[in-house]
A and B are shown apart, each in its own frame.
Chain A
Amino acid sequence: MAASHRLAGVGLGVHRLAKAVALLFALVVWQLARAAGLPDYILGPIEIAQHFTGALASQELYAHIGASLARALPGFALGTLAGIALGLTAGVSRGVDQTVRPLIFLSYPVPKIVLLPLFMLWFGIGDVSKILIIALACFYPTFINAYYGAKATPTILVWSGLNMGAGRWRIFFNVVVPSAAPLIFAGMRVSLALSFIVMFATEMINARSGLGHLIRDAENSLRFDLMYVSLLSIAILGYLGDRLLRFAGGRLLSWHAEAA
């Protein structure tokens, strides 16, 4: 038993090593190609790392990151909260289900970003229109997952709860919500990725700050170094956000096997 464990550990180590070697190999090929002569707008990994560390030392990048997060995170919070609340309600109430769900399912494949011009007209070109469009985009995945999660609550658990004298609200909060939680969480992961995409898109379309604005500004002034700094920042933010959410989910849903 112990021997097989040790062997599995060695296998995992070799696996990690192979991955690291493959990554290193790709970076070296990229750097060599850059040295052999790529166009100006494709920088090598060493140059990108230099520019990025340089930008990290200045205050400007943090201001852009802060402006971007101040749009993405409130939008994400607003959209997922509304999606979870309405999705769970539609999952347990037949009236809400039949009235609201067909419309939401029908409008699901519609790109929500097309409403940005209208939102700009209604709520101004500032942050409100951006936050609301991000919230709208985040609403859909959580609504759908919360709805299916609530629908998939094992009937036997609800019956047992009723039998043991639990009221409607207790069943909702102690049975339906926990049983829908893993699916809701999967929906939140999709929503978080969406919030970053929509945030970046709205900032590229019109903004005076944020990572999307930084990359457009750099593009217009042919500052390729700044373009890569913005690109790398949003990539790291997206990756870290997903990791953080998965970590939090693993902690909260530790009783559920698949969540982590």
Chain B
Amino acid sequence: MSWLRPLALVGALALAWELAARSGLWSLLIFPSLTSIARELGQFVVRPERLMEAWISLYRALGGFALAAVAGVLLGVLMGRSRLIAGLLDPLFSGTYAVPKIALFPIFIFVFGIGSLSKVALVFLECLYPIVIMTYHGARDVNRVLLWSGRNMGASRAQVMRRIVLPATAPYIFAGFRVALPVALIVVVITEMVSSADGLGYAAIYALASLKTDRMLAVVIVIAALGLALDQALVALRNRLIYWETLETYYV
């Protein structure tokens, strides 16, 4: 029921698009009809080399994200539990937070080469910030009473970390992941548009250059679907792991 209105809006937009495509007012290069977009979309399922482009982008995004998740949670927890490490690293992260890391890409190309490594490295760097900052805030604000009770009842440092700090920080960690995962996809698409010979970002630019607007829009739809599916998968995983606390606001 709650999906009726948004669906109606999408339907109206699609209808308007199709009418614009068929009206003959604009060239089909500018408004390709929905059927030709759907046909190009079908190619993604049928032709293995198209699927390969999607896979390449996905593995770059997830590779950089996974590295950032491991390093970010580790750094964030260390910063949250040690004043010294926080004093050293917090100025570094908060000072460079507003700086667009994407500008490092040309230098990364020289350092890591023009292949996947420079892209994965940039994804790692961009994803690291939200994960570190959210984890740091969560680990710093663990309820002190819980820590005291744990120590008082004889828990070792490792036990306190595993049984109290990590579960208490987990919602923050996932909030950081939720910000970082779309960022990973954005960075991959940008870097592939700027310099690449494969991946979805390249496929979109190449389709535009060869005036295949319908194919380009099919690529756009695939990227959008990928972003949506990754986000939904992350939310499902979060709700399974953090069963004791429901996700209240949709976005942090």
Q: Which residues of A contact B (CB under 8 A)?
A: 15, 18-19, 22, 39, 41-42, 98-100, 102-103, 105-118, 120-122, 144, 148, 189, 192-193, 196-197, 200-201, 204-205, 211-212, 215-216, 218-219, 227, 230-231, 234-235, 238-239, 241-242
Contact = CB atoms under 8 A, between A and B. Distances in A.
B224 A148 contact: no
Nearest to B201: A114
B69 interface: no
Contact of A118 (B9, B88, B96, B216): B216
Interface in B70-88: 87-88
B110 interface: yes
Interface string B102-118: 11111101110000000
Interface stretch (B159-167, B168-176, B226-234, B238-246): B226-234
B186 interface: yes
Contacts of B217: 118
Contacts, number: 146
Nearest to B27: A121
B10 interface: yes
Q: Which of the listed residues B98, B193, B219, B251 has the most CB atoms from chain A within 10 Å of its own CB?
A: B98
Contact of A110 (B110, B204, B207, B224): B224
Interface residues of B, number: 55
Most interface-central of B8, B103, B204, B205 (chain A CB within 10 A): B103
Contacts of A18: 87
Given A99-B5, A114-B224, A239-B98, A109 B231 contact: yes
B95 interface: yes
Enumerate the 8 nearest inter-chain pairs by beta-carbon distance, A residue then B residue, closest first: A242-B98, A109-B231, A41-B110, A117-B208, A111-B186, A219-B106, A110-B224, A109-B182
Contact of A103 (B9, B194, B207): B9
Contacts of A218: 106
Q: For chain A, what secondary structure do more than half of its interface residues adopt (helix, strand, loop), or is it mixed?
A: helix
A166 to B, nearest CB: 28
Given A110-B223, A111-B189, A196-B100, 6 more contacts: A107-B224, A117-B207, A117-B216, A118-B220, A197-B100, A235-B99
* Chain B contact residues: helix, strand, loop or mixed: helix
Interface string B193-216: 110000011001101100001001
Given A111-B185, A111-B189, A122-B30, A235 B219 contact: no
A116 B193 contact: yes
Nearest to B185: A111
A235 B103 contact: yes
Contacts of B110: 39, 41, 219
B240 to A, nearest CB: 19
